[in-house]
Amino acid sequence: MTDERRSISIRGADYSNVMERVGACSYELPDAHIITDAPRCNESDTRTASYVPPPLYYSRWKRWGDTWECNSCLFAEATCGDLKLCVKFAINLEKKPPPDPDSSFYDTPAVVAHVAVAQSFLDEYQFYQDHLQELQGTLVPRHYGVWRFKSTWGGVVLLSILEWAGSPSYPVFFKTLANEDTTEHRIACIQAVSELHERGISHGQLMGFSNMRHVLFNIETGTVRLVDFTTSSAAHQCPRPNFPAQDGNPDDPGCCNEVASIARGVQYYTYVPRESSFYFPETLYLLVSSK
Ligand SMILES: [Zn+2]
């Protein structure tokens, strides 16, 4: 623990708590109080890349880690003064979920899911400290550390607090920006992964659940940031980080697999810019569009 403390309140829960930071951190939260939205959760049975889960009711999320065992953390947007944040929660950490009655072994594993999630906060923070210091604020969000408090509603709570970095790029490109998406947006995603690889880091969880994950796009600034380094490696010897070059051969992505997977995820190789894909000569357009 450190002496650094902040108060926190979560919309939907009528309590404020004082939290303290676990371990040293390069960045300081600018205000004494954090306010978070109601948490959301990417439950594994509903998780897809094109789906942003809705905020949960208090009666639901407070059972996370207790009677609701889950492999994914709770998360919410938050503010601290003028700073916009993303907060990840693991709660009820002192509780041991009951054994699953449907399990043939009727056992609870030694490390249960919600405890594993909390450990991943500490591991990821260490990865930020060891390998992502120079990239914070540019390619990855700033990490404001891991915090802890004890609550009446969710037992022992561990929080991982990061700078807000944007929205999942897949739904942004294919839904929110459907009419104003550009090739530059998509190339920015590939370049972000390429830059990570040039620094010897492979992310490990960029594809799955129907499309790319953990690649965030900020609509206001047009910037891409990468998040969730819980299974990343800093010992990646990249064969070819440079993008692109498919050269017409679908079996040769022209670059390292993870970089190529994002190029496929943003449909770079098959993408036709909107401005040219529906072009009609004017006389033909009048013919097609007239009733
Ligand atoms: Zn690589």
| Beta strands 5-10 and 33-36, pairing class | parallel
Among the candidates 130, 163, 196, a domain finishes at 163
**pLDDT-derived band at 280, boundaries 50, 70, 90:** very low
Lowest average pLDDT, out of 10-14, 36-40, 210-214, 243-247, goes to 243-247
Tell me: do 10 and 92 sit in the same domain.
yes
- Whether 95 maps to a domain, the answer reads yes
Between 266 and 104, name the one with better pLDDT.
266
Total-model pTM: 0.84
Tell me: do 70 and 191 sit in the same domain.
no
Q: What is the CA(262)–ligand 1 centre distance, in A?
A: 12
Dihedral sign computed on CA atoms, order 62, 65, 71, 77: positive
Tell me: do 133 and 259 sit in the same domain.
no
- Whether 284 maps to a domain, the answer reads no
Tell me: do 140 and 19 sit in the same domain.
yes
The Cα–Cα gap between 52 and 287 comes to 41
pLDDT at 239 over 90: no
Q: What is the CA(237)–ligand 1 centre distance, in A?
A: 7
E-state strands within the chain? 5-10, 16-22, 33-36, 40-41, 74-80, 83-90, 143-150, 156-163, 167-168, 207-208, 211-212, 215-218, 223-226
**pLDDT-derived band at 97, boundaries 50, 70, 90:** low
Q: What is the CATH number of the domain that holds 190?
A: 1.10.510
**pLDDT-derived band at 102, boundaries 50, 70, 90:** low
Tell me: do 239 and 190 sit in the same domain.
yes
- Over residues 133-175, the pLDDT tens digits come to 999 999 999 999 999 999 988 899 999 999 999 988 888 877 7
Tell me: do 51 and 153 sit in the same domain.
yes
Q: What is the CA(202)–ligand 1 centre distance, in A?
A: 6
Tell me: do 36 and 54 sit in the same domain.
yes
Per-residue DSSP letters for 45-59? TT--TT-PPPPPPHH
Q: What is the CA(48)–ligand 1 centre distance, in A?
A: 25
Tell me: do 115 and 66 sit in the same domain.
yes
Nearest alpha-carbon partner for 213 in 11, 56, 72, 2: 72
Tell me: do 154 and 16 sit in the same domain.
yes
Tell me: do 236 and 143 sit in the same domain.
no
Q: What is the CA(201)–ligand 1 centre distance, in A?
A: 8
AA identity, residue 162: L
AA identity, residue 144: Y
The 3-state secondary structure of 163-181, one letter per residue: ECCCEEHHHHHHHHCCCCC
- Whether 181 maps to a domain, the answer reads yes
**pLDDT-derived band at 279, boundaries 50, 70, 90:** very low
- Whether 289 maps to a domain, the answer reads no
- Whether 286 maps to a domain, the answer reads no
Q: What is the CA(276)–ligand 1 centre distance, in A?
A: 32
- Whether 283 maps to a domain, the answer reads no
The Cα–Cα gap between 85 and 144 comes to 9
Q: Tell me, what's the pLDDT at 104? A: 56
Tell me: do 134 and 198 sit in the same domain.
no
User: What residue numbers bound the domain in which 228 lies?
Assistant: 167-275
